[in-house]
Amino acid sequence: MYSDIRRVRANNHSTSCGLRIANVWLLLGASLFSSPAPVQAQQPISRVDLDQAIELALAHNHALKAVRTQIEQSQAEEITAGLRPNPVFTADYSFLPIFSPSAFDIPVSQNPLPQEFDAGLSYTIERGHKRQARLRAARDLTSVTRSQVSDTERGLVFRVAQQFVAALLAKSNLEFARKDLESFQQTVSLSESRYKAGDISEGDLLKIRIQLLQFQTDVSSAELALAQSLASLRQLLGYDAVPADYEIIGDLAYTPLRRNKEDLQALALRLRPDLQAAQQGVTAAESQFLLAKANAKRDLTTSLQFNHVSGVNAASLGLNIELPFFNRNQGEIARTRYAVSQSQETRSAVEEAVLTDVASAYEAVKSFEKIVQLYTAGALKHAQDSRDISEFAYQQGAASLLDYLDAERSYRATQLAYRQALANYMLAAEQLREAVGTRELNH
């Protein structure tokens, strides 16, 4: 019995070994001949800072992607502008006896109608360097389009930064509201103990509980503001760029501006893409003017034709050109000349707008900087010291409830106003970055 069992085990062992070897060969064959496994898609970033948010928006924003296709469209128009005219092939067979059916019974040699067959090629030679003028005008328009797309990117970057600062403000207000609620809940607990001990009246306890409702409402409002800010920011970043529960990294902060207004204006005149587009628009308008003058030249059509008439073969050459007695493209030449003047005036107007934008944003930064410094110079500390003193005095029974609540409201209002001042300063700095056309203002 045991020998049979061993024999069965041996057979099973040999069978299992064979199966394992076969599996190894199958795996090796699959690894050699099968296609590589597809790379898993990168997971969306769950925590982003401002720089990452800008990068994600530039890579995933669908509205920007749609605008960028204008560059490819303009490049396709360059291809069209550089194309040469197609040659024209013509052929004809004349004098078919369709109204004399009996003629088909007559031998070809005795057919009274002459046999005529013609075949030829014609080609239009563009004069006045039209093709070169078209191609130059199309390339100039592509340059303008690139600068306009860059200007769209500049606007998107500002909107992302603006919404990110709004989210930072909502996040900071929420953190403060939760911290303030936790602190006031301790005051409520202490007041309930004092009420039980008979140190305060029931009316004072009710006032404190009503004030607690305000703190709880502040938390709910701050949560809503943060959720809405994150949703708006996600729309700019692209819904596929971040998950629904993503978080932002960063805090409201004050970074002083070290460059003066004149340096920033000079930098903006070099970097602003809308000004570059206006400058390139002058070149494009001049190219259109040269194209209009080239189109005034009449094209020459040449032809070469083979003729077969009654058994005789011959060839013929032909030239065809329009005589410009009346239409010499005068209207388009005049229009494009005025368009050059228009583009020059537009460039000057954009240049003045750039200088105005920088000056306005610079003054806003300096104004909000003074407000932030007023808070950091002592207003914040004074409000907190007043609240702490009033809270301690109330807990010791040395101050009235109204004095404590008034100090608490002043502290809360000061903290919220300081956070708003920081957000305003950061928004003004982002506005200045957009006006200059770069994010590096202190370099």
Higher confidence at residue 404 or residue 212?
212
In a domain, 64, yes or no: yes
Q: In angstroms, rounded to a whole number, what is the distance separating the alpha carbons of residues 228 and 56?
A: 19
In a domain, 249, yes or no: yes
What are the structure tokens assigned to 18, written together?
């064979």
Higher confidence at residue 415 or residue 395?
415
Work out the mean pLDDT of the chain and round it to a whole number.
85
Q: State which residues form the domain around 389.
A: 56-436
Q: Where are the alpha helices (DSSP H) in 198-244?
A: 202-237
Residue 72 C-beta-side C-alpha neighbours within 13 Å: 5
Asked if 342 and 316 count as a contact pair (C-beta separation under 8 A), the reply is no
Choose among 358, 361, 413, 356: nearest CA to 384: 413
In a domain, 318, yes or no: yes
Q: pLDDT band for 158, please (50, 70, 90 cuts).
A: very high
CB atoms within 10 A of CB 105: 7
Residue 39 is predicted with a pLDDT of: 42
In a domain, 215, yes or no: yes
In a domain, 390, yes or no: yes
In a domain, 5, yes or no: no
pLDDT per position as a tens digit, 70-84? 999 999 999 999 999
- Give, in degrees to the nearest 5, the angle at Cα 325 between 320 and 327: 90
How many whole angstroms from its chain centre is CA 282? 26
CB atoms within 10 A of CB 411: 21
pLDDT per position as a tens digit, 340-364? 999 999 999 999 999 999 999 999 9
Residue 395 is predicted with a pLDDT of: 73
Residue 199 is predicted with a pLDDT of: 72
Least confidently predicted of 14-28, 48-62, 94-108, 263-277:
14-28
Of the chain, the percentage scoring pLDDT greater than 90 comes to 60
What are the structure tokens assigned to 232, written together?
């708006």
DSSP string for residues in 421-432: HHHHHHHHHHHH
Residues ≥6 apart with Cβ < 8 Å to 85: 123, 124, 126
Of the chain, the percentage scoring pLDDT greater than 70 comes to 85
Least confidently predicted of 36-40, 49-53, 267-271, 286-290:
36-40
Residue 19 is predicted with a pLDDT of: 41
Residue 247 is predicted with a pLDDT of: 93
Residue 111 is predicted with a pLDDT of: 55
In a domain, 38, yes or no: no
Structural domain tally of the chain?
A: 1
Cross-strand bridge partners of residue 303: 122, 318
Please report, for the domain that includes residue 138, its CATH number. Answer: 1.20.1600.10
CB atoms within 10 A of CB 396: 8
pLDDT per position as a tens digit, 2-34? 344 344 344 444 444 444 444 434 444 444 344
In a domain, 178, yes or no: yes
Residues ≥6 apart with Cβ < 8 Å to 92: 116, 117, 118
- Give the neighbor-by-neighbor strand order of the sheet with 88-94: 88-94, 116-125, 300-309, 312-321
